Structure 1
Amino acid sequence: MTHAHDRALPRAVRQAMPMARDVLLEVAKQHGVCIRPIPLKRLDTHTGTWEIIDVPCGATFDSKCPPCAKRNKQLRKAQCREGWHLDAEPVITPNEPDEEQRWLVEFRADVHAQREAAEKAGDDTSELDELISGLDEEINAAGMRGNVLGRTAAKRSRSTRRRQDAPDLPKRKMAHTTLGRTFHGTDGKVYRPSLFVTLTLPSYGKVRDGIPVDPDAYDYRRAARDALHFSKLVDRFVQNLRRVAGYDVQYFASVEPQKRLAPHLHMAIRGTLPRAEIKQIAAATYHQVWWPQADEVRFDGDHLPVWDEQGGYLDPATGEVLPTWDEALDALDEEVEPLHVIRFGEQVDVQGVLAGTPDADQCIRYLSKYLTKSLGDALDGGQVQREHADRMLDALRYEPCSPTCPNWLRYGVQPKGAKSGMQPGRCRGKAHKPDHLGYAGRRVLVSRKWSNKTLAEHRQDRRTWVLEALGQADEPTDPHRYIWRPVPAGDANVPPLAVRLLRTVAERQRWRAHLRELEARAAGQDLSATEPTGMAA
């Protein structure tokens, strides 16, 4: 259709016509093509040629890139399925250190020796301390677990005595296994059941369809603090679970929002325990937040602490330096109550699951149901629920989310790592963003020995299946053959996004045509039945 013909059409007809770019994006989504590809320059050191390669953005939410979010969801489903009912112990062998990792540790040892010599000589060690701190960060970033020297500072300790309002837990002798018990049926078969557990937070007030019946009586402050510290409560539950179970419990869990906007947990657990014990563990699990007080407002409005380069933040009226985070913790009396205590609610659902059953498939779908949506995307109850979310965000606005949160200034404490420009109510932390509703932890929680594979290995399984189906060998490549570089903004060598999407869509069409041809030649063999769960559309 020519542009002249377009102009000849009535205006109302032209306005009703879809935009070509929007149609292209929809086509790309239908073919599983990333709609926000990242262009990278790749140098082939064997041939000396550069080329532009589009790398999928890897987004996990539909709101950013539905095809990438769908692939991530399928990978998670495959990961959950493969690890849930293992009948053999997973074996995890640490990788051999590479040259960079060895060099970093050797250099760290050399700098440490220099610092010890300087300290004995009475010289200033501040520059060496800063270098050591940077090296420790590089060591962690280089793919090594743990600190070279272990804990370098004394751990701040509190009484480990259990609260009087929490029931005691039994403790079994630990067995060195990650597998649950087996049961022999009357038919001679051996069954290895597992569990699907759902844990929720307590009530903050009566709700109907996720909306508070009386917003004024709803305890938004407690709801906000529970959301902020929910990830710590989950950690405590896992610790207690392993203590009671008597074996190295492995799990795959996802955190999702309820209609009332509180986070709750779905957890697939390998192995089984009596339902009564799971409920007892949930009832006995709590987390105490030993932070400075955050109930009495000391600075607000125009009366805010002022920054001084020498001493940090000062009281604007007296000029007194506010206590640092560590000083505020040191000042806490041993008899003082914690700032907050978080517990699970009474609603605990426990379901036994067998491998390969419809119930197992349904639970896996349930675990991954909301992985492509942010917590804020749960707002589907109209204007009334959005108002409920706004009140929740108001309660979160001045709640400290971490030791580094600027909101501590409101309560007379300098945040950890304080710097100029901090203001209460303007924290940029993840927990304070509307899409997260106070929860800043990971949405998917997977134990180390779950499926005996990393997510990257599950992704490689999918790639191998695709290449084998297309009749191409996934040959190992020389890791030093290619050199990757970012593409500068505005690089003339990068084609427009529409052109790159069209090319990728055409490539996907060729793949599918080849797969259909192979299936037609398979003499009735159902190749789709062997398709791994992580296969992209």
Structure 2
Amino acid sequence: MRQLPEADRDAIRLAQDPKFPRLLEQITATGGCTHPIHLSGFTTTLDGATGEIFHHYDTRNEPGERLLVRCRNRRATVCPACSRLHAGDTYHLVRAGLLGGKNVPATVRHRPRLFVTLTAPSFGPVHRAGERCRPRRGGGTCEHGRPLGCPVVHAPDAAVAGQPLCPDCYDYTAHVLWHAHASRLWDRFVIDVRRRLASSVSLVQSHFAQHARLSFARVAEYQKRAAVHVHAVVRLDGPAGSDDEPPAWGTTELLTDAVRASARRVLVRTPYSLAVGELALRWGAQVDARSLRTDGDGPEDDAVAAYVAKYVTKGASETGAGLDHPLTTWADIDSAPVSEHVRTLLHTAWRLGALPEYAPLRLRAWAHTLGYRGHILTKSRAYSTTYAALRAERAHHMGHSDVPEAVTERHWRFLGSGHTPGAAFIAAGVAEDLAESRRLSADAVQQGRWGGDSLA
């Protein structure tokens, strides 16, 4: 007799449990989370004055005496269900800063706003996709005997796209150290934009905050060559932020000029090393600053918000530019399922991490992201709402808001995480059903928007 797979046997076991309906409710409540957190404990909400209990919840009556909650991992490679929720929150966070809403006034859409892209500099020529790679009339080879050009038109998904023409010529050390300082380079860029705006209208630089504020939201994305570049929405406000109109001199043209000039100017120097020396790190030559206009002559605000939200859920492994988990030994790098280009970057980060002068960079701890240690998405305080506010709003919508003037006592204990094989099978089905439901809802909205019935 053929034996059923382990997942099927476990799913049948769970389905036969009297508390299976409640387990299914919990899995559905997490959206089919791939790796939920298991908690044990209780929550009691009572009147602070009289001691009257408004609500009491205890996990002792739950299946396995535990409650499942979302892992909230943003990476689609780790948990597709939670990454979709995170992408939705990111979309609304970015969109609110562009069009208003979520306690942000609608007037922000009429202010100077830019969609800025800053790239990493060149660390050596790499193969390009979608066009003739690197045509070179004179041919020739580098000092290592490899061709200096490539006449092939590579497909976008070609394995060679983004790989160095000559790995021995490629500056892997500069690549890793640029990643390690990219967040600091962004900070210098923002400071310099403020200074240039102040100087252009004859303001004392230290007085800029009394006249205007630079608000932004930015996301980091790995390119094919495994180098991070930055997409950012930049907005000029008055000194109080989104609730305050910018000064009359604050124009889109002035902001654009300041962004382009600062991107060319700012630099960060690495700590001096006997092995490496001192490097001056800058943004790449490719700088794009497009105006977000209300007359439709430019990128649409919704499209920009969706673009940022798409990239915030991508892990390093999904883009082929690293790993989604930290490395512990050199052997972990040798066995990692990555290209040789990325493997060399991993080795470089690990080797540089052993140098005392680079100890503050924690390169070994961040070797899996090729030295990049900034958040994937960051924003200025006054740009728009926060993830915490969006989650609180969602909880309120689902009826989980706290009772005013009530006292809540909580005691929770972590028990573990993940699913049994059968529960994982069920969760995958729940996540797939919810994704299909969202797709059908989106199609219905789109059809209604374009008058589907009238076109039939």
TM-score when normalising by structure 1 = 0.53
Q: Select which of 187, 191, 200 maps to 2:119.
A: 200
Would you say 1:390 and 2:389 are equivalent positions?
A: no
C-alpha distance in structure 1 between counterparts of 2:406 and 2:432, whole Å? 26
Q: Select which of 340, 353, 374 maps to 2:279.
A: 340
Change (3 A) 1:395 1:384: same
Would you say 1:367 and 2:299 are equivalent positions?
A: no
Instruction: Please state whether the residue corresponding to 1:254 is helix, strand or coil.
Output: strand
Q: Select which of 379, 384, 390 maps to 1:446.
A: 379
Q: What is the match of residue 157 of structure 2? A: none
Query: Is contact 2:11-2:422 (8 Å) kept?
Result: no
Instruction: Please state whether the residue corresponding to 1:212 is helix, strand or coil.
Output: coil
Change (3 A) 1:373 1:508: closer
Q: Select which of 440, 452, 460 maps to 2:392.
A: 460
Letter in 2 for 1:198: T
Instruction: Please state whether the residue corresponding to 2:260 is helix, strand or coil.
Output: helix
> Shift of residue 239 of structure 1?
0.9
Change (3 A) 1:67 1:266: same
Query: Is contact 1:42-1:482 (8 Å) kept?
Result: no
Residues 190-217 of structure 1, C-alpha deviations (whole Å, 9 max, x = no match): x434110000011111111312112211
> Shift of residue 486 of structure 1?
0.9
Q: What is the match of residue 275 of structure 2? A: 295
Residues 474-499 of structure 1, C-alpha deviations (whole Å, 9 max, x = no match): 56367633423214469xxx996846
Instruction: Please state whether the residue corresponding to 1:249 is helix, strand or coil.
Output: strand
Indicate the larger mover: 229-238 or 239-248: 239-248
Q: What is the match of residue 78 of structure 1? A: 92
Q: What is the match of residue 50 of structure 1? A: 58
Letter in 2 for 1:342: L
Query: Is contact 1:29-1:67 (8 Å) kept?
Result: no
Query: Is contact 2:93-2:387 (8 Å) kept?
Result: yes
Q: What is the match of residue 483 of structure 1? A: 410
Kindly, what percent of the aligned residue pairs are identical?
24
C-alpha distance in structure 2 between counterparts of 1:480 and 1:501, whole Å? 39
Q: What is the match of residue 222 of structure 1? A: 174
Q: What is the match of residue 407 of structure 1? A: 355
Unaligned runs of 5+ in 2: 15-26, 45-52, 60-65, 129-161, 199-211, 237-251, 323-335, 449-456
Unaligned runs of 5+ in 1: 8-13, 92-178, 183-190, 297-337, 401-405, 417-426, 520-524, 530-537
Change (3 A) 1:248 1:380: closer
C-alpha distance in structure 1 between counterparts of 2:192 and 2:171, whole Å? 28
C-alpha distance in structure 2 between counterparts of 1:352 and 1:438, whole Å? 32
* Structure of higher RCO (CA pairs closer than 8 Å, 6+ residues apart): 2
> Shift of residue 231 of structure 1?
0.8
Change (3 A) 1:505 1:201: closer
Q: Select which of 262, 280, 291 maps to 1:281.
A: 262
Residues 291-327 of structure 1, C-alpha deviations (whole Å, 9 max, x = no match): 342417xxxxxxxxxxxxxxxxxxxxxxxxxxxxxxx
Letter in 1 for 2:352: E
Indicate the larger mover: 363-372 or 228-237: 363-372
Would you say 1:270 and 2:284 are equivalent positions?
A: no
Q: What is the match of residue 431 of structure 1? A: 366
Q: What is the match of residue 36 of structure 1? A: 35
Query: Is contact 1:205-1:212 (8 Å) kept?
Result: yes
Q: What is the match of residue 69 of structure 1? A: 83
Residues 493-523 of structure 1, C-alpha deviations (whole Å, 9 max, x = no match): x99684698599889999x99xx9xx9xxxx
Letter in 2 for 1:295: A
C-alpha distance in structure 2 between counterparts of 1:285 and 1:85, whole Å? 30
> Shift of residue 345 of structure 1?
1.2
Residues 308-357 of structure 1, C-alpha deviations (whole Å, 9 max, x = no match): xxxxxxxxxxxxxxxxxxxxxxxxxxxxxx83221011100111113596
Query: Is contact 2:38-2:415 (8 Å) kept?
Result: no
C-alpha distance in structure 2 between counterparts of 1:495 and 1:376, whole Å? 23
Letter in 1 for 2:218: A
Letter in 1 for 2:177: R
Q: What is the match of residue 252 of structure 1? A: 217
C-alpha distance in structure 2 between counterparts of 1:442 and 1:458, whole Å? 19
Letter in 1 for 2:395: R
Letter in 2 for 1:445: T
Letter in 2 for 1:368: A
Letter in 2 for 1:391: T
Instruction: Please state whether the residue corresponding to 2:366 is helix, strand or coil.
Output: helix
C-alpha distance in structure 2 between counterparts of 1:22 and 1:379, whole Å? 34
Instruction: Please state whether the residue corresponding to 2:213 is helix, strand or coil.
Output: coil
Max Rg structure: 1
Indicate the larger mover: 436-445 or 356-365: 356-365
Change (3 A) 1:284 1:393: same
Change (3 A) 1:366 1:499: closer
C-alpha distance in structure 2 between counterparts of 1:67 and 1:20, whole Å? 24
Letter in 2 for 1:374: G
Query: Is contact 2:32-2:431 (8 Å) kept?
Result: no
> Shift of residue 84 of structure 1?
2.3
> Shift of residue 373 of structure 1?
2.0
TM-score when normalising by structure 2 = 0.61
Residues 119-155 of structure 1, C-alpha deviations (whole Å, 9 max, x = no match): xxxxxxxxxxxxxxxxxxxxxxxxxxxxxxxxxxxxx
Letter in 1 for 2:273: Q
Letter in 1 for 2:275: D
C-alpha distance in structure 1 between counterparts of 2:253 and 2:35, whole Å? 45
Q: What is the match of residue 236 of structure 1? A: 188
